[in-house]
Amino acid sequence: AKALFARRVMTAGTLNNSKTIRFEPAAVTSYEDFKKVLRFMDEALADTKKEFGI
């Protein structure tokens, strides 16, 4: 969540499943915005892997 927040993407957990990511605020987005969020997620996961030596 920290790495996504640094990229201006807000996330939160869910009440039913802690392994589920919720994007905030819930909204309808364009395909271009969705692609951007996916790119940010990929970058954030790469940062996390590097941080933990995975």
**CA-to-CA distance for 19 and 16, rounded, in angstroms?**
9
Q: Across all residues in the chain, what is the average pLDDT?
A: 85
Predicted confidence (pLDDT) at residue 27 exceeds the cutoff of 70:
no
Q: Is the pTM of this model over 0.75?
A: no
Show the domain range for 11. 2-52
Higher pLDDT, 27 or 18: 18
Task: List the structure tokens of 48.
Answer: 């996390």
Region of 53 please: left (phi>0), alpha (psi -120 to 50) or beta.
Answer: left
Task: List the structure tokens of 2.
Answer: 């920290």
**CA-to-CA distance for 29 and 10, rounded, in angstroms?**
14
Question: What is the H or E stretch that residue 24 is in?
Answer: strand 22-24
> What is the C-alpha end-to-end distance of the chain, expressed in Å?
18
Looking at the structure of the chain, the number of domains it has is 1
